[in-house]
Amino acid sequence: MSGPETQDDAPHVPVLLRPLLKAVAPVSGVWLDGTFGAGGYSRGLLAAGAERVIGVDRDPAVFEMAEAWRGPYGDRLVLVEGTFSELDRYAAEIAPGGLDGVVLDLGVSSMQLDQAERGFSFMKDGPLDMRMSQSGPSAADIVNEADEGVLADILYHYGEERASRRIARAIVAARATAPFATTRALVAVIERCLPRPKPGQSHPATRAFQALRIAVNDEFGQLAAGLEAAERALKPGGKLAVVTFHSLEDRVVKRFFQARSGRTPAGSRYAPVQAVEVAAFTPVTKKPIGPDEQELAENPRSRSALLRVAIRTEAPAGRADRAALGLPALPAATGRHR
């Protein structure tokens, strides 16, 4: 998977693969790669000693590409089309004894960014789509139909875009003349709303495109459900490794590991002390692991990537308090259209 988009035509290099394999060593048994993509993590796990890897992805196109190289792995690599929020169901069918590890590499894959026809990239003109599963409402549906307030909420809460209201107002004004159909049309409106970036700053459309992609694919809902599913699927001693690409994702993963490792925040007059549950995880990484200089040179898209790892205990699986995970919530109803 990939982090923020850049103008570099970086190869499909798995982000933080070396530190991930070091943090989860020794690798053995059955692992699940919940964001299969180009298969980089799956191949890395198999090479490191995994007996079997279950590769899960909701994008059917990735499995077509995998046919070119998966042959030598035989039944050591099992591919499943679906969302990682249901990974415990796939694991129960394929590895009823439980998983030895789960890897989640969040965000959009570099393959998807490189395919203009998928509509994820603000650097390449294409249909305004952004659907990972290639089904359901697209980014164009949201941009052309959502109320101005809903658009502003999506841009602010999912993209941390400070100019969210200005951009939403400009989108609504522009679509009154002609509906948005391409990424280039949307980028042009956003660029008119924001100052030209200084050297080293990200493209003006970065945050807006991130926000729309998250909304289209329900990425935060999927993340919370996927972390809970991993807790249910992992056997005692199993390892959960999660790679994030922006602060909103990392905050959710950090708080999940804190809550499920029995480290609840101290109470205050605004938030009473919560009952401490038996720890379901033991954190391996106290602080997230980022890319080193070698990784940054090999893969510029890794610059914002962070890795967190935890080990499953023998405690029964529970359910995280989603309100405490810091999931971005939209004040306006996202289903409300004009």
Report whether 7 contacts 123 (CB < 8 A): yes
Report whether 327 contacts 227 (CB < 8 A): no
- The three-state secondary structure class of 94 is helix
Provide the Cα torsion 321, 323, 325, 326; round to 10°: 180
Phi, psi of 10 (to 5 degrees): -70, 145
Q: Is 73 annotated to bind ligand?
A: no
- The three-state secondary structure class of 81 is strand
CA 292/CA 314 separation, integer angstroms = 34
Phi, psi of 127 (to 5 degrees): -60, 145
- Count of C-beta atoms within a 10 Å radius of residue 79: 18
> Which DSSP letter does residue 337 get?
B
Report whether 191 contacts 114 (CB < 8 A): no
Q: Which residues pair with 102 in a beta bridge?
A: 32, 240
Q: Is 147 annotated to bind ligand?
A: no
CA 329/CA 216 separation, integer angstroms = 14
Q: Is 57 annotated to bind ligand?
A: yes
* Residues shown for the chain: 338
Q: Using alpha carbons, select from 279, 252, 248 the residue that is nearest to residue 263.
A: 279
CA 175/CA 187 separation, integer angstroms = 13
Report whether 23 contacts 307 (CB < 8 A): yes
Q: Is 237 annotated to bind ligand?
A: no
Longest distance between any two alpha carbons in the chain, whole Å: 60
Q: Is 84 annotated to bind ligand?
A: yes
CA 291/CA 293 separation, integer angstroms = 7
Report whether 254 contacts 310 (CB < 8 A): no
- Binding site per annotation, positions: 39-41, 57, 84, 105, 112
- Binding site per annotation, positions for S-adenosyl-L-methionine: 39-41, 57, 84, 105, 112
